[in-house]
Structure formats: structure tokens, C-alpha cells
Structure 1
Amino acid sequence: MQYLHQFSLVIHIIVGSCALLLFWAPILAKKGGKMHNLSGKAYAYSMQTVSLTGILCCALVLTDPISVYPEAYLQASNQADFLNSARERASFLLMLSFLVLASVMHGMRVLKDKASRLTVKRPDMLFNYFALCASALYVAYLGAQSGQVLYLAFSIISMIVAIKMMRYTFAHTVKPRQWIIEHLSAMIGSGIGVYTAFSAVGGRYLLVEVLGEQAMLLAWLAPSALGTLGLIVAKRKYQQRYQVVVKDNLARQAAAS
């Protein structure tokens, strides 16, 4: 089990590093062009691999943390606390893996469906939404019990994202061309996830000399804050370009008259 965890972790890190660069290719390429489509598919497949290997790693730790971390377990001064800490951390990372997986799959499905929303209602997508909600609720519970601000913050973010995706999926009607904005939001959201992981693993060591222990919290939250700001700007830009809001307002006016 230890070797399976290590192998999955290596794949997770290598593919995740590639996804850091791939993320920008469809962002910078002409929308709808060949480069945008090819690089977007490559990014989506790489992010699915990152998510699935992350889920596997977390599942192994939750199932048997002693087999995954035998040396650390033997060296721990309090082995019970070590097991609890390992499982709590794995639960948190599992939620983030579900968050990235649900986001990237939702983004690709809405692009495929456009206005029909057929494949986003399939059982596998419904399971993704459920898994994200369930894991977010559990991590929120862990955060409330331990006072971990990080757990509480990301559980709230995860729940908001899950609710937003489900609202789009099960809405009676959607705005014309809203699938464009939904695709954009989901794919940028998945990118925020991969940059958050990169910042939390490597970025905190660059900041720790200046900020001390606060570097860890900043490394986790800064990419989300900056990415969300960028997402808001991008959404407004493409809503105006594709007249999503304008058409919706016209439809409301026509219905009222």
C-alpha cells in the first residue's frame, strides 16, 4: 500500500506540474480555435488524472495510514494523534480532489452539452456533486471541532461551488449562451485549485522567512483570492461579449409584456 501511494503521488505531482503550464494555453489561445480546443482537452485530461490520483492517495491514507506512513508512525511521540492528524489531512485533501474533479468535468460537460445540459445530469456527474457536498460538510465539521480556519474556509468554498454547479444543472431554464460562462467559470476554478496546491506545497517555504507560520494560511488562500478576482473580471468580459445578460434581460421584458 505504501508503494501504491508513492507511485500515485509521483504521477500526481508530475501531471500536476504539467497542468500548471497547460492551464494558460487555452486561456491565451483564440477561443474556439484549434489551439484552444486541443490545449483545453489536454488540460482537462491532465486535471482529471491529478484529481483521480489525489483521490486514490487520500483513500489509501484514510483506509490504512500506518501502512502508508510506517516510519512516521513508529517515530511519532503520540501515535493516536498521528493517525487522527493523517486522516483529517487526507479528508481535507480528498475534498479538494473532488472539487477539482467536479469542476473540470462540469466545465467539459457544459461545453459538450451547450444548452441541452444532458450529460451534466448523468449519474457520474451527480455522484461528483454529491461527493463534493458530502466531503465539504465533513471537512467543515472537522474545522469546527479543531478550529482550523483553513478547513472551514475551503469547505465553504467547496459547498458554494457544488451548489452553483447543481443550480445550473437543474435550473428550469438557463440564459442564452450561459454555457459559455459556466464553462469558463468551471475551468478557471479548476486552475485555481492546481495553483493553490502548488502555492501551498512550495510557496509557503518562500514566504515562511518573512511571515512565519502565517505563510501557510496565505499560501493556501492567496491563489483562491486572486483567482476569484480574475474570474469575476473574465466573467464580466465574456458576459458582455456574448451578451448573456442583455439577452436574459430582453427575455424577461418580453415575458413581462
Structure 2
Amino acid sequence: MSVSELFHLFVASHIVTGATGLLAFWVPVFAKKGGTAHRTVGKVFTVTMLLTGTAAIGISLCTLADPVSTHPHLTEHADFRDPALVRAIFGWMMLALATLTLNLAWYGWQCIRNRRDHTANRESVNLGLQAATFITATNCAVQGLLIGQPLMLGVSLIGWATVGTNLWFLYKRQPAANDWLREHIKALVGAGISVYTAFFAFGAVRTFPTLALHPVLWAIPLTVGLAIILYQWRKLARPRAALPAGQRA
């Protein structure tokens, strides 16, 4: 099987699992927390994010191996005629986003699975994904500097921030009662942001290549996702704020 054929196999898998996950994303966001719909569809979302991230890694590696045959439609566009640019954007940056998605989906899942045993969150896969995300984010920044693409630096900052906040929680000695839930929300909504961003930005390449790097297209999922996270965190804080100081976690 050629690199191009393998690439298209990964793309097909990415589209199927990604589209399923992006539709499933909204059910746990709006459904009653802890209810049947939230738990059931939330698992579907998490699994599809893990599969989507894995397929995206395959896409990025194929692009790195052969940027021209995997993206022949871009060779006719003035903005992407240089194979080095295609390799950087659709190879290195996608690899960073894919690793970030895997990190957030797995971490968010572990937060709820280990809510009664915080130290269990420090298992090898969880810690390994923090390291992998830091490495791919750092590489993304380096590659962005080499081609003069500030968007890649922005992706790197998100990756570093994710690793930093994840490790802060993972090694926190005495987490507050709702810390695991705050991290669960942050991570899984973050995974949704990551994949929506990829679908909007990289999906636009097929029809409007210049939109792939337009900051507005990248800002929309991030803004909506952050609003969801902050809203859910605020809801969590309300009952605690209503308690007398001595009864708060």
C-alpha cells in the first residue's frame, strides 16, 4: 500500500469517527450531568475522540513522509506550493493537535474513572501523553518559527498550557472535592475544541485553501469551548458558594 493510499484510509476513518464524536459532543454538554444520556453518549464521545486522534496521527505521519502525493490539490494553490509548508502545517501541526486530542480525551476519562482514587490518575499512559504533548507542541513551535507561521505557535501554547494544568492536578496532594469534575469538563470539552478546530480549518482546505490558516476560523471553536467550560465551572461553584465557609470542600 502506497503512502497516498494509506493516507486516504486514515482520512476516511478520521471523518467517520470525528463526525460521530462531534455530534455526540453536544449531548453530555446539555444533558443532565450524571444521567443516563450523559454517561452513555459521553463514552461514545470519548472513544470516538481517541479513535479520531489516532487516525489524525496516521494522517500527519503520511503527510510528513510524502506531502506532495498526500495533498496534490494544494500544489496548484499559491499559498501551499512549497512542500515544506504543507509538511509543517498538515504534518507537524496536525501531529501536535492529534496528540493534544488524545491527551485530553484520555485524561478527561481518567479523571472520572479515578475520582475516588486520585493517585491512580498518575498511570503510565496518562503521564506518557503529557510528555508526548509537550514534545509535539515544542516541535510545532520550532517548525512554526522556521516557516514564520504564528498560528503554529498558538497551537503550541495551548499544548503547553494543557500539559501544565494537567500535571498540576495530577500531582496535587489534596485535591478539592470537585477538582476531578472541573478537570473532566476542561479536558473533554477541550478535546471537542481540538477536533472542531481541525474539522473547520483542515476541512476548509478542500474548498477554500486560504481559510485553513485564517485566525477567525481557529478562534470560533476555541471561544465557544472556553465559554462552555467557564459556564460549567461557574455552575459547579454555585452550590459551594452558598454553603457556610466551614462546610466548603
TM-score range for the pair, normalised by the shorter chain length: 0.7 to 0.9
Query: What is the one-letter code of the residue matched to 1:191?
Result: G
Contact 1:140 1:151 (8 Å CA) reproduced:
yes
Structure 2 length normalisation: TM-score? 0.85
1:71 positional shift: 5.4
Query: What is the one-letter code of the residue matched to 2:19?
Result: S
Q: Which moved more, 1:224-233 or 1:87-96?
A: 224-233
1:216 positional shift: 1.9
1:167 positional shift: 0.8
1:229 positional shift: 2.5
State the aligned residue count: 243
| C-alpha distance in 1 between matches for 2:184 and 2:242 | 16
Aligned counterpart, 1:200:
201
Establish whether residue 42 from structure 1 lines up as the match of residue 40 from structure 2: no
Q: Deviations over 1:131-159 (max 9, x none)?
A: 10011111112223333121111110111
% identical aligned pairs: 24
| C-alpha distance in 1 between matches for 2:73 and 2:200 | 24
| C-alpha distance in 2 between matches for 1:252 and 1:238 | 12
Structure 1 length normalisation: TM-score? 0.83
2:227 equivalent among 229, 247, 250: 229
Establish whether residue 98 from structure 1 lines up as the match of residue 99 from structure 2: yes
| C-alpha distance in 1 between matches for 2:97 and 2:154 | 12
Q: Which has the larger radius of gyration?
A: 1
Aligned counterpart, 1:186:
187
Aligned counterpart, 2:86:
86
Counterparts of 1:66-85 in structure 2, within 5 Å, are: 68-69=69-70, 82-85=82-85
1:179 positional shift: 0.7
Query: What is the one-letter code of the residue matched to 2:225?
Result: G
Q: Deviations over 1:136-195 (max 9, x none)?
A: 111112223333121111110111011101111111221112111111111111111122
| C-alpha distance in 1 between matches for 2:179 and 2:62 | 39
| C-alpha distance in 2 between matches for 1:245 and 1:106 | 30
Aligned counterpart, 1:5:
7
Q: Deviations over 1:65-94 (max 9, x none)?
A: 168538579x689xxx73322321211001
Aligned counterpart, 2:55:
53
Query: What is the one-letter code of the residue matched to 1:194?
Result: V
Structure 2 residues without counterparts, runs of 5 or longer? none
State the secondary structure of the residue aligned to 1:226: helix
| C-alpha distance in 2 between matches for 1:215 and 1:238 | 36
State the secondary structure of the residue aligned to 2:118: coil
Check 1:14–1:88 CA distance in 2 against 1; reply closer, same or farther (3 A cut).
Answer: same
| C-alpha distance in 1 between matches for 2:13 and 2:206 | 23
Query: What is the one-letter code of the residue matched to 2:29?
Result: I
1:17 positional shift: 1.1
1:20 positional shift: 1.4
Contact 1:2 1:67 (8 Å CA) reproduced:
no
1:223 positional shift: 1.4
Contact 1:5 1:68 (8 Å CA) reproduced:
no
Counterparts of 1:9-24 in structure 2, within 5 Å, are: 9-24=11-26
Contact 2:201 2:212 (8 Å CA) reproduced:
no
Q: Which moved more, 1:3-12 or 1:26-35?
A: 26-35
Contact 1:47 1:100 (8 Å CA) reproduced:
yes
| C-alpha distance in 1 between matches for 2:54 and 2:194 | 14
Query: What is the one-letter code of the residue matched to 1:132?
Result: T
